[in-house]
Structure formats: C-alpha cells, structure tokens
Amino acid sequence: MLKYENVDLHFSLQGKTAVITGGAAGIGYATAKFFHDKGVNIILADLNPKVEEIAKKLGENCLGVVGNVCDRAYPAKVIDAGVKAFDQVDILVNSAGIVALENAESIGEDDWNRTIDINLSASFFMAQAVGKYMIENNIDGCIVNMASQAGVIALDKHVAYCASKGGIIAMTKVMAKEWGKYGIRVNCVSPTVVLTELGHKAWDGPVGDAFKKEMPSQRFAEPDEIAACIAFLCSRGAGMITGHNLLVDGGFTIQ
C-alpha cells in the first residue's frame, strides 16, 4: 500500500540509497550529483572501467560497480554491493541507454537488437531484480525509468529508439499497477534533447537550432533539470504519483 507519511516540502531524500545505471556520465551522473547533495547514498552502475574512481570523486557514501547492464547477473551484483555498503536499496534510476540513428527500412538486426537490449530489456531486468528485492524486504521504494519524448511521438531515424522508449513507458505502467500494493512507486521521465556532453556533440549547430525553433521552450534541457524531476518523483512530495510518464520536453510533444 502507498502510505501517506505527510508531505516533506523540502523533498528530502536524506539517508536513502539509490542505484543509478549509466551513472558515470550524462543524465545518470547529473542525477547522482543531485542525489548526493540531498544526502543520498549512491551506487553508480556503469560499464565505464573508471566508475569506481568516478564514484570516489563524487564524494562520500558513493560506490561504483563496474559491469554491463545487459549481463543478466549484473543486477544481483549491484544490489548485493549496495546492501553490503549501505544496508538496503531504496531507489533505482534506470538511466543507461543508447541510440542508433537509421531509417526503418535500413536499420540492421544488430543495431535493432542492441538498442532494445540496452534500453528496454536491461532496464526491465534491473527493475525486476530491484522490485523483487524491495518486495521481499518490505521496502517502500521508488523506481524511475528513463524514457524519452521519442516514446510518445515519432522521430525520423529513431525507429529502434522510439520502440525501446515506448516499451519503457508501457513497462513502467504495468510495474506500477502490480507493485503499488507493496508500497513501491514506479514512474518514468521522458526528456527532450538534453545538453549532456553527447547532447552537445549531436545537437550543437544548425540542426539543433532548427529543432529548437519547433519547441515552445525554444531551448533544450540541461541535465540538472532532468535530475531535479527524478529527485521529485523519488521524494515524499510525489507520494501519490505512480505509473506516470513525466514529459520534460519544453512543450515539444503538445504540438
């Protein structure tokens, strides 16, 4: 049952422990920094071999666990490391993801399978493992999956990406429906273009400028803006929000 515990107007996450996949860079790292400033214990789960070093530089109570999210044994490894270091896991942020830009008539099987496996299947199995852990240990936890505006609307050359992110949104709703009785909330966040390091490389220039003109906001999102939304969804302020897809898209999908 989703218990009411009063609204914390500071949206505090003090003392919680969060697993963040793709946590060594991009939105995942921005979320880790935001969470750490709110007193959260952090487990960065990332393929980057320097993730342990990155976690140490982030600050105290931060742990890096190297691994491939597509390895079906990896979720258990991450959870075990978090429990050993911080006693329990309260939050999962599924942020790891890739994009393969190709038209529907020409995308290859390898690009299709890799996109679906990393973006959708790996997110599912990580959420499944964390959800089972929370159920078995009676933890009122929160899971936030990273979807995209591409899961809501069609974008050229994004067929595999759109399919994977649409799957994330549907998966989130089912998990929220099934796990609400255990006190677990499951939501997803769907950003527009986010100006991470990769975002700048892909969208700085004429193509990005043209895209921004189509957006009511007339600009792209900053990583901290996505991290703030994730933090809110994990806080008691969002205690009645579950199964929701929060679009952080500058109004692009309303058109």
Catalytic residues: 161
DSSP state of 55: H
Supply the DSSP symbol for 242: -
Spatial separation of the C-alpha atoms in residues 182 and 179, rounded to whole Å: 5
**Counting Cβ atoms within 10 Å, is residue 176 exposed (0-12), middle (13-18) or buried (19+)?**
buried
Alpha helices in the chain (DSSP H): 26-37, 51-58, 74-86, 109-116, 122-136, 159-179, 197-203, 206-213, 223-234
Contact 50, 74 (CB under 8 A): no
Q: How far apart are CA 35 and CA 50, in angstroms?
A: 20
